[in-house]
Each structure stands twice: as structure tokens, then as C-alpha cells.
Amino acid sequence: MSDDVFRKDTSAAPRGYASWEAAGLLWLAEAEPDGGARVAEVLDVDLDHLDLRRYAPAPPTNVQADELGRALARTHAAGAAAFGSAPDRWPSHGYLGPADEPLPLPLQPTPTWGAFYAEQRILHTLRMGRERGLWADETAPFEAVAQRLHAGEHDDGRPPARIHGDLWSGNVLWTRDGAVLIDPAAHGGHAETDLAMLLLFQGPHTARIIGAYDEAAPLADGWPERVGLHQLHPVMLHAVLFGGGYVSQAVQIARRYA
């Protein structure tokens, strides 16, 4: 295999996982000609692996962080058919989590973000947690958050964004030419979800990235107060996968928005 190729082994993942990830990368890449964020180039897809272009890592600069913020705003602006819509070339639900143990990610087109996030993220992950013995006596805060979401309290009228879906700092690869996004769980969602993920596991220049984003596409009033709401799902997912302090952290976040 060429040194320019990175082969991601997906043999331990459910059948089709490589195609799911490839579909997300290709969908996000459609925004690149209009100034969207760069994503890893897909070279080949098979049942047990995904071949991507290999990129040499390099320390990020302030200028590159600003560029990523502006570019991410353009990617989000490319839009999606609905909240919960899957990437083009992908006909079903997706996955989220490590490649050796990805969890199912519901993708059902939904008219409002609140209804989508309540049912397909909070309540879905709550059910997975309950199946693993989590939150047996602590379901009320999660259900209360879901009820408020269903009621539209956090809907802002903005159209669905084309989001990466798992944009923690480890999925931003910095190179000499700037940032390259990897390992997406791409779908139609709320732009603040990607920004909240950057803040959950902070990497280099997070504040600059978000500041440049806000200049390019001003965020809705009060967005800092909603960061925890958008972080609730990934924290719940980490609790299901890894347990530990994530279990109580998820409850604490839910109580803030219940």
C-alpha cells in the first residue's frame, strides 16, 4: 500500500460501517468548493476497510484556526433535507462511537430540531443506558429535558445544518495546510451541536475557531447557555460506552435543562 494512503480497519464494526463513514465524508466534502471545511479524501471503500488520503500532522496556527471557523460555518450553511436526515448515498440509520464498538445512531427526518434531539438522541441513548443498567432511578431529568425539547422550547427557526456530528478535537487533524476533518457521524442537525462538541473535549484554539465562526455566521442569542444541552447526548453516549464519571455527569447536565 502506498505511503499516501491511510487504511482504516472496520472489520470489527457492523457490516456497512465503512460505507457509512465514507458517505458522511463525501457529503461534507460537497461544501468544500464553496469554502467549506476540508475533510479527509475518500480513496476506496470495502466491507472491512476504508482507504483515505494520509495527511502529515503539523501544529495549528492562529490563522488556520480562524480559517476553520469560517469554513465550518460554510459547511453548516450547505444544509440538509431535514433534522435527522442521513447523508446522501446512505439509506438508513448510522453509527456513533469507536469503530470497534459503534452504537446505533437513529436518522429519521424530523420537522423540528427539538423533536429530533429529544427522541433520537436523548431518549434513544437513555434506553441504551437502561439496557446496560445505567440511570435506573434517574430517568426523570432526561425525560423532563426531552419533554421541553418536544415542546419546542429550544427551537430557533433556523434550517437544518450539514453537521459533522462528532466534532471533538480528536477529529480535527491539523496539517501544514490547515485543518482536515475526519471520522464524521454526519447528518442534518443543529450547528451549535458541532460547536458544543469542540468545547466538550477542547483542543488547540477552540475559542478562536468559535469566534471566527460567529463572525462569519452569527450565532443565535444565548447560545452559550445551550452548550450543555448539546453536550448532553455525547456525554450520555460516553456513559453508555465507558461508564465512570460520565454517568453522573450526564445526570447533572440533564438536571440543568429539566
> What digits encode the pLDDT tens for the residues 202-231?
888 999 999 999 999 999 999 999 999 999
For residue 110, pLDDT beyond 80: yes
Could you give the residue numbers annotated as active site?
A: 166
- Residue range 29-43, pLDDT digits in tens: 999 999 999 999 999
Q: Report pTM.
A: 0.96
Find out if CATH 3.40.50.300 is the number for domain 57-257.
no
Residue 146: all three cell numbers together: 426531552
% of the chain residues with pLDDT over 90: 93
For residue 1, pLDDT beyond 80: no
- Residue range 153-184, pLDDT digits in tens: 999 999 999 999 999 999 999 999 999 999 99
> Quick one: pLDDT band at residue 3, thresholds 50, 70, 90?
confident
User: What integer best gives the mean pLDDT of the chain?
Assistant: 96
User: What distance in Å separates the CA atoms of residue 80 and residue 187, rounded to the nearest whole number?
Assistant: 7
